[in-house]
Amino acid sequence: MSVCLFNSPPPLSLPTPAKRTLSVILDTSNNWTRKTLLGGAITGVLSINLLLSSPSSLAFESPSPSLLQSQSTEYLCREEEIQQDFKVESEAPQVVTNEGIVEEAWEIVNDSFLDSGRRRWTPQSWQQKREDILSGSIQSRAKAHDIIRRMLASLGDPYTRFLSPAEFSKMGRYDISGIGINLREIPDENGEVKLKVLGLLLDGPAYSAGVRQGDELLSVNGEDVKGKSAFEVSSLLQGPNETFVTIKVKHGNCGPVHSIEVQRQLVARTPVFYRLEQIDNSTASVGYMRLREFNALARKDLVIAMKRLQDRGASYFILDLRDNLGGLVQAGIEIAKLFLNEGEKVIYTVGRDPQYQNTIVADSAPLVKAPVIVLVNNKTASASEIVASALHDNCRAVLVGERTFGKGLIQSVFELHDGSGVVVTVGKYVTPNHMDINGNGIEPDYQNFPGWSDVQKHLSECNINQQG
């Protein structure tokens, strides 16, 4: 998970803590779950069906130290001596009023909410709602939570909602590594990126095995992780439940290096199925790949499938995204890059906050250059739509099937002072051709399966039109 950067709110009449955010797309700094993580940063982006019957997108960002108790580690090297300074900061418990909780939720919406097109929200009407709500006293915490629920429901956005403390706690424990750590890419003084453990489940397998907050991860099962992204390495850590992974970590910038064996506790099943098929009346063959969801193993296992199919002579590829409701949005972005040329656009993100005004581009050569068909239907959503639109708009694939679901919103999850939370829509995805995915979906090029000669012609014409 990754967290978004949000503007600091104006002063309140009551002292309130910095907001903690689990956010959707890019890394920034904020506070994190105090009960289960040590200043954790969840790397990656969620687009999962949580608490909703329809596909939903969540994003998580990187936090600053936890509110009531945090632990940060500084390592200093002086004259070949390693000194570890553990800095523990704590705050005396603050009195949390019911009015303060409601106002905190109101301010999050006021600062970050992006109306998804219903045009029910205006700064003026939202200010009036604050005055109406806080004109009298709120007698109980349950009443405060009920007011927040009604306040958020008035926005008319099905994805903006309240989370009880129990619901927020469950969401905070999402772990894409499978061993209870969350990694973040931290540049050193030379500009090189290191992977640091900035998030650790206190009762997780990595913590029990000896991994500590601030450790640098050097290798996974003997594979050097230098130059790899936090998301890539999280997928390397994943594996079947109760199997072991060996990681090498360094305590601090120049501390001792330890090789630690950790037993995985989460089940990570491969979402990829693939096979090689012969084309009728032809010597050519097609590599068929079905991707059921975008989990931490999706990119790694799809790369394996693509390479094996290429080695076996695949001349064309089919990527089947039917009934794929999404998963980790970052996995979708990384998978789209596998097919694109360096510099080609994957997706745009837009929002009121500048944090969400981004252009995401491919950063390397494509893994395959053969023509691709992407199969889609009305249950192709969120991360699947990012992949489908990126390949389509860059003339790398034709889309075949039905119009996609149309889930292109970005949510961030903020923790309130009492451990409850609010999920707020803060941005949306726009395709490389500047089409708003949300509520529209993506129209396929063909409803029925075309011939491969038609596919090649379509992609050739697309490239000519794009260049012209």
Catalytic positions: 382, 407
No. of H helices and E strands in the chain? Answer: 10, 24
Residue that is written with structure tokens 């005055």 in the block: 131
Are 408 and 351 a contacting pair, CB within 8 Å?
A: no
Are 442 and 400 a contacting pair, CB within 8 Å?
A: no
Please list, in sequence order, all residues whose beta carbon lies within 8 angstroms of the beta carbon of residue 307, skipping any fewer than 6 positions away: 367
Q: How far apart are CA 375 and CA 462, in angstroms?
A: 18
Q: How far apart are CA 238 and CA 1, in angstroms?
A: 15
The residue count of the chain comes to 468
Closest CA to 175 of 41, 272, 49: 41
User: DSSP readout, 372-410?
Assistant: EEEEE-TT--THHHHHHHHHHHTTSEEEEES------EE
Q: What are phi and psi of 410, to 5 degrees?
A: -110, 125
Q: How far apart are CA 422 and CA 167, in angstroms?
A: 10
Burial of 403 from C-beta contacts in 10 A (0-12 / 13-18 / 19+): middle
Could you give the angle at the alpha carbon of 82 between the alpha carbons of 80 and 85, nearest 5°? Answer: 150
Are 393 and 433 a contacting pair, CB within 8 Å?
A: yes
Q: How far apart are CA 114 and CA 339, in angstroms?
A: 31
Q: How far apart are CA 356 and CA 430, in angstroms?
A: 11
